[in-house]
Structure 1
Amino acid sequence: MSETQDYEIVIGLEVHAQLLTRSKLFCGDSTFFGKDANSQVSVVSLAHPGTLPKMNKEVISMAIKLGLACNCEIVQHNYFARKNYFYPDLPKGYQISQHTTPICKKGYLEVQVGKESKKIRLNRIHMEEDAGKSLHDKESNYTNIDYNRAGMPLLEIVTEPDLRSAEEAFAYVTALRKLVRHLGICDGNMEQGSLRCDVNVSVRKKGDPKLGTKVEVKNLNSIRFIKKAIESESMRLIGMHQRGEAILQQTRGLNESDFTTYAIRTKEDEDDYRYFPEPDLPPFFITDEMIEALRKEMPKPVTAIKEELKTAYGLQEYDASQLANDNELLSYFENIIKEIKNYKAAANWTIGPVKNYLTTEELSIDEFKVPPAAVATLIRLIDAGSINFGIASQKIFPELIQHPSLDIVSYIKENSLELETSGSQIDLLIQTALNKHAQKITEYKKGKKGLLSLFVGEVMKLSGGKVDPKIVTEKIIEKLNA
């Protein structure tokens, strides 16, 4: 039986980004999230007979901006098409989308995977309307339909099958999510469904140029779920290959409890959708002047943001680069410094404990519940000498993650986390540490200055981390040099 490492995973992604327009793609219905079911609909979005769509021009502008940011070719002669299929939450019985003339073709998005940079080629970016939402858990005997989402403006961003691992897919969606937020065209909130991903996965023997039969895992609304779905589905497909079983082209769903996938239906081919030009919307032409005007409206490049951070807040190159390259972290940093003026500490916390936690747990900033004001409070208490960074990051920050509304000051008092400031008590701890490592004192005095960290570490351990390491270091040096 072949080993799993004999196989190559081939992945293509289809990401649907809901645009930040105030009205839907083809009518004036509100796009506000969270309203009562079926309260943001009209005769147009419900497809009553005799109603006609009217184009939202802002959607075209947003699509072009994303295309320019992704190095795409903008298709100037353009039209919409009907994609015919029946589903209960699709009011018209077809979807207005694009087919042979996507508004953006080709292009790429460069992503960082570990220490490596990789260009993920795009096949297309096209505009389309969203369907409604089927609710299966409201009543036991019925499926309910909420049409609020029907007609919402979407951009579908389709990659070439360039991705080869779950890690690459994770990096790509993370980078794309940051980009649409940076451009201000989508809030990227996956929990609310404004960024969703369909994953196409196939496997083949390494060295085989022919692509395997693909399956599609639909409607993944978390970057972590995308990674888990690819890991699970690729192992299932490899197992089928090893057993000699036929793989069907299917649409599948993800069980979020154990990250296994399940079959929904046999996957349709393009011919099944019976595309034809949308007769109720005229073709449209995008001029060179419009493209250039939108290019000038694009947000500042990362390099300019980095220089501003260095100039305005005195940040060093590394800190400024880390923040400028991550719009989500930059926003978190900016919310911290609304509360305090220690910009260096705010940057350290943002690209240190906050980013490390997000990376380890594979979370987005939307899923991170610790408010920036809480981090600002920790910085303020450190600056005041009430606690040190070790106590803040190792004892209080984990508690904040579990309880974001934690009263930090009360928690410090209740758990006796205040720093020991008594000079005599600190001197006693230092003497105890030096007595324990008395044989090392002579070595230190002979030139082994690296032993200083041993002495400081021992004092910190004896105090439970409740002394200021800077004060301890100064006192130890003074004592040993006496």
Structure 2
Amino acid sequence: MNYDTVIGLEVHVELSTKTKIFCGCTTEFGGQPNTHVCPVCMGLPGALPTLNKRVVEYGIKSGLALGCSINKVCRMDRKNYFYPDAPRNYQITQDEFPICRDGYIDIEFEDGTKKRIGIERIHMEDDAGKLLHTKAGSLIDFNRAGVPLLEIVSRPDMSSAEEAILYLEKLKGILTCIGVSDCKMEQGSLRCDLNVSVKPAGSEKLGVRSEIKNLNSFKSLEKAIEYEVKRQIEAIENGEKLFVETRRWDEENLRTLSMRSKEAANDYRYFPEGDLVTLNISDEWIEEIRKTIPELPHEKYVRFIKQYNLPKYDANIITSSYDVADFFEETVDICSDSKAVANWIMGDISAFMNEKNIGINDTKITPQHLGNLIKLINDGKISNAIGKKVLSEMLENGKMPETIVEEKGLIQNSDESAILDMVKNVLESNPDNVAEYKNGRTNLFGWFVGQVMKMSKGKANPKIVSKLMKEEIEKM
């Protein structure tokens, strides 16, 4: 039997506010355990919460960027449950009246086709603490307790791991672009719960879903979907009864494990948060926030293809990061070579950033560095190969390319007389290879050029080398 997969994501986004959602404690990542706390975020008796206005602003801003309608009247609610890392034994969240509803994200596949994924709701809430499991026992760090979150709940519109990843990538790009979160998955700023079920192909009736908690990487999301779909199908075909449950992802063994039966809404005994007033959001405030939304990644993607004549693949990579897109445009303004800029960013610079696990603004180079480097290459002053060496040094020490080229004597040799001597030397020293080339082994031409470049220690102008090499071989 064939099966359809049904996927929905609940994405938890840690907001980039300086203080927590209901108190003045810092949201800075790290710090000694239990030092970013106060009576409010520790839930001590008599401590009253005060809602951070910036959290509401970021909620509205996210909703507008995701095509949602903004609920002008909304409130905070108590969600009652006991976990060791929940200091109050309840979470302050939003139940019936969330800040945003009915949005969407359009994802695009490699073949150019698109699909719209619905967003059911966005609500504000506070985060719990963090459990640390050690050999000595389980410890709790409450530094994260009270950090503001947006929970973005999709509709069950995705049907494959590919679609889920495209959705999450685009969501991450939008949220980073509008500045509400850094979305650093390795620090827990973006994590998601996966809801997945399978059903007979074409059936209208949904299958029994499982929720997999706290996936914090695209790879984990992909592997969890693949494993869980396979597990559910095998269970159905073996006659096993599936039940709604919450599972966790075992990263080491690449499998999901059952945690508990899935709670229903009434298990949480939601009721209005009596210590916080109802929110009344004005049209004027919504419009003020709307004006602060910059050009979104998918809008930038379309513009980059048209304005800079970039291939779709290049445009997609460049616009996936707001910082990278800005760096790209500033560099193009300097050197006027959009394709070269894209190639350097997607190649050597991206490799360096991945190796160091940093963003482009955390490197030691600026658009001026890269723009000047590309101009040196395009002006024939250094070769592309030398350019790679210069870039490597720029990334390490932040020196301008002109300085590195001058200090190391890397200016490209365009003296045709000197290059011609080297070309003749290579041909005269390799008569057998010349004979083979004349007999049809034309791929040896690149070898001849390479020998000249080696002889010149990479400084010979490769265009001149190729031109003279061709002329000299034709004379023989």
| TM-score, structure 2 as length reference | 0.80
Please list, as runs of the form range in 1=range in 2, the aligned pairs for 1:56-67 lying within 5 A after superposition: 56-67=52-63
> Partners of 1:86 and 1:335 in 2: how far apart?
51
1:178–1:328 CA contact under 8 A, matched in 2: no
Partner of 1:77: 73
> Partners of 2:434 and 2:125 in 1: how far apart?
71
- Is 424-433 or 228-237 further displaced after alignment? 424-433
Structure 1 residues 463 and 130 mapped into 2: Cα distance closer, same or farther (>3 Å)?
farther
Partner of 1:230: 225
Partner of 1:248: 243
Write the deviation string for residues 3-23 of structure 1: whole angstroms up to 9, x where unpaired: xxx222111001111111111
Please list, as runs of the form range in 1=range in 2, the aligned pairs for 1:123-134 lying within 5 A after superposition: 123-134=120-131
> Is the counterpart of residue 194 in structure 1 residue 194 in structure 2?
no
Write the deviation string for residues 60-83 of structure 1: whole angstroms up to 9, x where unpaired: 111111111111111111111111
Structure 1 residues 343 and 259 mapped into 2: Cα distance closer, same or farther (>3 Å)?
farther
Partner of 1:445: none
> Partners of 2:139 and 2:77 in 1: how far apart?
28
The size of the alignment, in residue pairs, is 447
- Is 241-250 or 160-169 further displaced after alignment? 241-250
> Is the counterpart of residue 349 in structure 1 residue 341 in structure 2?
no
2:76–2:93 CA contact under 8 A, matched in 1: yes
> Partners of 1:72 and 1:294 in 2: how far apart?
14
> Partners of 1:310 and 1:242 in 2: how far apart?
48
Question: 1:224 Cα shift?
Answer: 1.9
Partner of 1:184: 179
> Partners of 2:11 and 2:298 in 1: how far apart?
27
1:132–1:150 CA contact under 8 A, matched in 2: yes
Please list, as runs of the form range in 1=range in 2, the aligned pairs for 1:317-328 lying within 5 A after superposition: 317-318=309-310, 321-322=315-316, 323-324=318-319, 326-328=321-323
Question: 1:460 Cα shift?
Answer: 5.3
Partner of 1:25: 21
Question: 1:47 Cα shift?
Answer: 0.7
Partner of 1:102: 98
2:248–2:259 CA contact under 8 A, matched in 1: yes
- The correspondence for 2:256, drawn from 238, 250, 261, is 261
Please list, as runs of the form range in 1=range in 2, the aligned pairs for 1:206-225 lying within 5 A after superposition: 206-225=201-220
Partner of 1:119: 116
- Is 368-377 or 62-71 further displaced after alignment? 368-377
Question: 1:205 Cα shift?
Answer: 1.7
Please list, as runs of the form range in 1=range in 2, the aligned pairs for 1:31-430 lying within 5 A after superposition: 31-115=27-111, 116-137=113-134, 140-301=135-296, 316-318=308-310, 321-322=315-316, 323-324=318-319, 326-330=321-325, 333=328, 344=338, 345-352=340-347, 366=358, 371=363, 373=365, 383=376, 388-389=383-384, 423=419, 424-429=421-426
> What SS class does the counterpart of residue 106 from structure 1 fall into?
strand
> Partners of 1:258 and 1:460 in 2: how far apart?
51
Write the deviation string for residues 25-72 of structure 1: whole angstroms up to 9, x where unpaired: 111111111111111100000111111111111111111111111111
Write the deviation string for residues 88-132 of structure 1: whole angstroms up to 9, x where unpaired: 000110101001111110110112232332211101011011001
Question: 1:407 Cα shift?
Answer: 12
Structure 1 residues 98 and 242 mapped into 2: Cα distance closer, same or farther (>3 Å)?
same
The letter for the 1-side match of 2:36 is Q
1:12–1:160 CA contact under 8 A, matched in 2: yes
The letter for the 1-side match of 2:55 is V
> Is the counterpart of residue 474 in structure 1 residue 470 in structure 2?
no
> Partners of 1:125 and 1:87 in 2: how far apart?
23
Percent of residue pairs bearing the same amino acid type: 37
> Partners of 1:240 and 1:159 in 2: how far apart?
26
> Partners of 1:94 and 1:123 in 2: how far apart?
24
Structure 1 residues 112 and 192 mapped into 2: Cα distance closer, same or farther (>3 Å)?
same
Partner of 2:405: none
2:449–2:469 CA contact under 8 A, matched in 1: no
The letter for the 2-side match of 1:72 is C
> Partners of 1:38 and 1:304 in 2: how far apart?
42
1:105–1:125 CA contact under 8 A, matched in 2: yes
Partner of 2:448: 459
1:349–1:375 CA contact under 8 A, matched in 2: no
> What SS class does the counterpart of residue 236 from structure 2 fall into?
helix
Structure 1 residues 301 and 474 mapped into 2: Cα distance closer, same or farther (>3 Å)?
same
The letter for the 2-side match of 1:438 is K
Question: 1:324 Cα shift?
Answer: 4.3
1:456–1:472 CA contact under 8 A, matched in 2: no
Structure 1 residues 74 and 318 mapped into 2: Cα distance closer, same or farther (>3 Å)?
same
Structure 1 residues 427 and 84 mapped into 2: Cα distance closer, same or farther (>3 Å)?
farther
The letter for the 1-side match of 2:69 is E
Structure 1 residues 303 and 276 mapped into 2: Cα distance closer, same or farther (>3 Å)?
closer
1:13–1:158 CA contact under 8 A, matched in 2: yes
> Partners of 1:306 and 1:187 in 2: how far apart?
20
Structure 1 residues 258 and 429 mapped into 2: Cα distance closer, same or farther (>3 Å)?
farther
> What SS class does the counterpart of residue 180 from structure 1 fall into?
helix
Question: 1:459 Cα shift?
Answer: 3.5
Structure 1 residues 368 and 88 mapped into 2: Cα distance closer, same or farther (>3 Å)?
farther
> What SS class does the counterpart of residue 187 from structure 2 fall into?
coil
Partner of 2:404: none
Write the deviation string for residues 221-265 of structure 1: whole angstroms up to 9, x where unpaired: 112221121122212222212222122222222222232222222
> Partners of 1:199 and 1:121 in 2: how far apart?
15
Structure 1 residues 310 and 92 mapped into 2: Cα distance closer, same or farther (>3 Å)?
same
> Partners of 1:263 and 1:369 in 2: how far apart?
41
> Partners of 2:242 and 2:41 in 1: how far apart?
38
